[in-house]
A and B are shown apart, each in its own frame.
Chain A
Amino acid sequence: GAGVSQSPSNKVTEKGKDVELRCDPISGHTALYWYRQSLGQGLEFLIYFQGNSAPDKSGLPSDRFSAERTGGSVSTLTIQRTQQEDSAVYLCASSRVGAKETQYFGPGTRLLVL
């Protein structure tokens, strides 16, 4: 079946602009995760959604970052007033409920803030 998809694959923006990154998880996966991968760094957890429960936002680095998940499926990560240090690959993953050890990742969105 189809894997996790993300769009856009690449995004170049100017400092101070807002960006929206989209994630479409695997059908039937109720858990959805966002991570950030900076050059030479491991993945950094950002936010976790599980069904209709309140999301775990403990990894969001600042209040400029927010995410929502509509209808329990597609998720959007929004970064407001982007800064150069926001430049990174943003990865989305999904899993079945209670199966965080088997997350399936999308290809990522490469964000460059000029």
Chain B
Amino acid sequence: QKEVEQDPGPLSVPEGAIVSLNCTYSNSAFQYFMWYRQYSRKGPELLMYTYSSGNKEDGRFTAQVDKSSKYISLFIRDSQPSDSATYLCAMSAANNNDMRFGAGTRLTVKP
């Protein structure tokens, strides 16, 4: 079992839909949880990060962390064609330098 599991998709939704992206993990030491967006042939771009459990909202994006279930989510409201990209979850323990990434979910938002 991988340390971080992420459904690779692909996921296709119509413009305006609410998108839900998820990751599960096995390492209870993870404290930092990040979501990155990666366009084709580009480097990942940090969207949001949260520390420990809870929710965080930034515009159309909401990140949720449920440490009891070892489950994190990213919600995108009013999705736009420009949101079409691969979304990577990442997480890290407090005393580690490395981050563990999910394989990424490819999202397509159709006009």
Closest Cβ neighbor of B106 among chain A residues: A40
Q: Does A101 sit within 8 A of B, measured CB to CB?
A: yes
Question: A42-B104, A43-B101 known; A100 and B44 CB under 8 Å?
Answer: no
B32 located at the interface, meaning its Cβ lies under 8 Å from any Cβ of chain A in the complex? yes
Residue from the list B4, B8, B41, B100 in contact with A40, Cβ < 8 A: B8
Which of A13-21, A61-69, A73-81, A104-112 binds B? A104-112
Interface size on B, residues (CB 8 A): 25
CA–CA, A50 and B96, complex, Å: 13
Cβ–Cβ contact B102 & A91, under 8 A? no
Q: Chain B residues with Cβ under 8 A from A26's Cβ?
A: none
In angstroms, how far is the closest chain A Cβ from the Cβ of B37? Answer: 11
Residues on B with C-beta less than 8 A from A103 are 46, 99
B92 to chain A, nearest CB (A): 6
Least CB separation from A107: chain B residue: B43
A interface residues, tally (CB under 8 Å): 26
Q: Give bound CA distance, A102 to B92, whole Å.
A: 12
Residue B61 interfacial (CB < 8 Å) = no
CA distance A43 to B6 in the complex (A): 12
Closest to B46 in A: A102
Among the listed B6, B98, B102, B104, which residue makes an inter-chain contact with A45, where contact means beta carbons less than 8 Å apart?
B98
- Some 30 contacts from A to B, beta carbons below 8 A apart, are A4-B43, A33-B97, A33-B98, A35-B101, A40-B8, A42-B4, A42-B6, A42-B88, A42-B100, A42-B103, A44-B101, A45-B100, A48-B98, A58-B98, A91-B44, A100-B92, A100-B99, A101-B32, A101-B34, A101-B49, A101-B51, A101-B92, A103-B99, A104-B46, A105-B43, A105-B44, A105-B45, A107-B42, A107-B43, A108-B43
Residues of A participating in the B interface, judged by any CB pair closer than 8 Å = 4, 33, 35, 40-45, 48, 50, 56, 58-59, 91, 93, 100-108, 110
User: Which B residues fall within an 8 A CB radius of A?
Assistant: 4, 6, 8, 32, 34, 36, 41-46, 49, 51, 88, 90, 92, 97-104
